[in-house]
Amino acid sequence: MRSEMEQDILKVLITEEALQKRIGELGEALYEKFQGRRPLFLGVLKGSFVFMADLVRSCPLKSDVEFIAVSSYENATVSSGRVKINHDLQQDISGRDLIIVEDILDSGNTLAFLKDYFLTKGAASITLVTLLDKPSRRTKAIAADFAGFQVPDEFVVGYGLDYCQEYRNIPYIGILKPEVYGTP
């Protein structure tokens, strides 16, 4: 039986099993890269919270966890281009090796802004990890160091990603029915 929430999903794009397998590979790759160091996993809220939880558990390194909350979408499916910090860092990141954890790299606005922001705060290095990459929509010259999956130019939800704050708790990545958000 599909839940009422899931009836808004047009199709499943990435299953729970595929997510777990790929996140295991990302965790291993990060382990290889950071062995012997103590990186700081820095999740970009809210969308990354589910991915972050699985990623840190797939990477058996001594590490720290931090979050920053930003928004740019203002409840639409198209980026406003502006990035606002809603909840700032709660610790000094100067001299730290950062692993930025994002749900999706779309226009690149958010990560371009955050990369500059973290460098001005004195980060020693920045590694960008995104679960999803939508390269067709990029307007900023920014690329992930590690990306889980490339996705087509469709609005996706689930596994932390929302539409108007809904659907974050769907355990897979799905494409939302266009009638749910109106004509794009």
Active site residues: 106
Q: Which of 27, 39, 43, 47 binds Mg ion (CB under 5 A)?
A: 47
Q: Which of 49, 63, 97, 107 binds ligand IMP (CB under 6 A)?
A: 107
Our finding on whether 143 is near ligand IMP (CB under 6 A) is no
Where is 21: in which H helix or E strand?
A: helix 16-34
Our finding on whether 102 is near ligand IMP (CB under 6 A) is yes
Q: How many residues does the chain have?
A: 184
Q: Residue 70 in contact with residue 44, Cβ under 8 Å?
A: yes
Contacts of 67 (CB under 8 A, 6+ apart): 42, 43, 44, 45, 49, 52, 87
Beta carbon of residue 95, minimum distance to ligand IMP (angstroms, whole number): 26
SS (H, E, C) 65-131: EEEEEEECCCCCCCCCCCCEEEECCCCCCCCCEEEEEEEEECCCHHHHHHHHHHHHCCCCEEEEEEE
Q: Which of 27, 39, 43, 47 binds ligand IMP (CB under 6 A)?
A: 47
User: Which DSSP letter does residue 163 get?
Assistant: B
Tell me which of Mg ion, ligand IMP, none is bound by residue 147, counting a contact when its beta carbon lies within the kind-specific cut-off of 5 to 8 angstroms: none
Q: Given the rule CB under 6 A, which of 3-11, 28-36, 87-95, 102-110 is the region that contacts ligand IMP?
A: 102-110
Tell me which of Mg ion, ligand IMP, none is bound by residue 156, counting a contact when its beta carbon lies within the kind-specific cut-off of 5 to 8 angstroms: ligand IMP
For Mg ion (CB under 5 A), the number of binding residues is: 1
Our finding on whether 51 is near ligand IMP (CB under 6 A) is no
Please report, as ranges, the residues that interact with Mg ion according to CB under 5 A.
Answer: 47
